Amino acid sequence: MPKQSFDAFSRLVKSGEIPPAVYLYGEEDVLKDEVVRAIVDRVVDPALRDFNYDQRSAGQLDPESVETLCNTLPMMADRRLVVIRDVEVWNKRARGRAAMLHYLERPAAQTVVVLVQGAARRGEEREGNDADADLLRVTCAVEVPRYGPRLAEKWVLKRAAERGITFEAEAAAHFAQVTDGDLALARSELDKLSGLAGDTAITLAQVSGLLGVRRGETPVDWCAAVLDDETGRAAGILPHVLAQSGVSGVGLITQLGTQLLGLGLARSQFDRGLRGGPLQRAVFDAILRARPARLDYKGSAERWGRLAERWPLPRIDSAISATLEADRRLKSTTLATEQGVLLDLVMQLGFRSREAA
């Protein structure tokens, strides 16, 4: 069966033309849950849900369970729905997996089977976001990626509206930036804000108070200050950034490294004579080909294009080397704090910017 993009598959669900075997994998579990709910609404009559909808965990399935779930006929309906979650627990020898693969070679027309693979948690060893090659072959496979900043903000605004929440423009942008594409976190915080929903829009101060992060003190802001040679600001907000839930020194290094690599891409195009709009378009096209996660494609292309003149390639190479060394120190030493290592890095990059000038 053909692989589908998430957007194309979402349109397919809305049309009601849902394939008999669907495999959802990728980084964003919240979007998987939403598309499963949409499939349930399209396939199953609410009055007959107890008869025509089954949901199981893959680890609980033996071959007999797979046979029963997938080949039971729908009751007073054209189709029934079976959702199998946690398929990442299946290893190659799992009997339930073998039975499911056998069934999926010739799936029943009256049953829709949806296999849901949970995303790996941040920092996990397993490559839980990689697709199962055998399931790819016999299903309509849909990779569910993590949203970048702009799509995440649109998602936030839509889910806020469903809860009766309206934001002031700056408040919405700050909320999306702090939650950083983590839709599970965004959903949880929206639920908290729903108690404040009313005739007045949620303000920036309310969002800052709820999330515990002031405007201008996010990891994105820290990286921007480093690249803009605002050494004092980068050093000043660093303690506040590191104090935030889910933020680590290694995570900040990773984000900064991505920015430096992108800046190198922009500078290489700059050295070929591109300027202004053509430079930004070339960078944007390169980002589209690579499709890095959690990146504002348009905003990054504009920023890197703007900064390219101030960052010659030798300076970028030196900054990348310093960043890699900081990463090594964070992972190997107990003699310095995260804040100390990152502050050293900020000062190094600031000193080298003065040298370059």
Whether residues 233 and 320 fall in one domain: yes
Of 91, 124, 143, which marks where a domain is finished? 143
Please indicate, yes or no, if residue 113 is contained in any of the structural domains. yes
Contact (Cβ atoms closer than 8 angstroms) between residue 58 and residue 84: yes
Find, among 77, 78, 82, the residue nearest to 67 by Cα: 82
Please indicate, yes or no, if residue 287 is contained in any of the structural domains. yes
pLDDT tens sequence across 340-357: 999 999 999 987 655 555
Whether residues 120 and 82 fall in one domain: yes
Please indicate, yes or no, if residue 125 is contained in any of the structural domains. yes
Whether residues 253 and 351 fall in one domain: yes
pLDDT tens sequence across 40-50: 999 999 999 99
CATH of the domain at 198: 1.10.8.60
pLDDT-derived band of residue 125, with 50, 70 and 90 as boundaries?
Answer: very low
Q: Checking DSSP bridges between strand 80-85 and strand 53-57, what pairing results, if any?
A: parallel
Whether residues 235 and 287 fall in one domain: yes
Residues 181, 287, 313, CA angle at the centre, nearest 5°?
Answer: 115
Whether residues 126 and 110 fall in one domain: yes
Please indicate, yes or no, if residue 75 is contained in any of the structural domains. yes
What is the reported pLDDT for 126?
43
What is the reported pLDDT for 11?
94
Whether residues 63 and 118 fall in one domain: yes
Give the count of domains, the chain.
3
pLDDT-derived band of residue 200, with 50, 70 and 90 as boundaries?
Answer: confident
Please indicate, yes or no, if residue 1 is contained in any of the structural domains. no
Give the domain range for residue 69: 6-143
For 267, the enclosing helix (H) or strand (E) is helix 249-271
Whether residues 88 and 181 fall in one domain: no
Of 164, 187, 211, which marks where a domain is finished? 211
Please indicate, yes or no, if residue 319 is contained in any of the structural domains. yes
Whether residues 35 and 125 fall in one domain: yes
| pLDDT reading at 124 higher than 70 | no
Please indicate, yes or no, if residue 201 is contained in any of the structural domains. yes
Residues 6+ apart with CB under 8 A from 31: 6, 144, 147, 183
What is the reported pLDDT for 65?
96
Of 211, 230, 250, which marks where a domain is finished? 211
Whether residues 177 and 269 fall in one domain: no
Q: What's the maximum distance between 2 C-alpha atoms anywhere in the chain?
A: 77
Beta bridge partner(s), residue 23:
115, 141
Cα-trace Rg, the chain? 24
pLDDT tens sequence across 132-156: 999 999 999 999 988 888 888 899 9
Whether residues 115 and 11 fall in one domain: yes
pLDDT above 90 coverage of the chain, percent: 77
Integer Cα distance of 250 and 136 in angstroms:
33
CA 36 to chain CA mean position, Å: 18
pLDDT tens sequence across 53-100: 999 999 999 999 999 999 999 999 999 999 999 999 999 999 999 999
Return mean pLDDT, the chain.
91
CATH of the domain at 261: 1.20.272.10
Integer Cα distance of 230 and 55 in angstroms:
53
Please indicate, yes or no, if residue 115 is contained in any of the structural domains. yes
What is the reported pLDDT for 123?
47
pTM for this model (two decimals): 0.78
What is the reported pLDDT for 327?
96
Whether residues 10 and 85 fall in one domain: yes
Whether residues 313 and 349 fall in one domain: yes
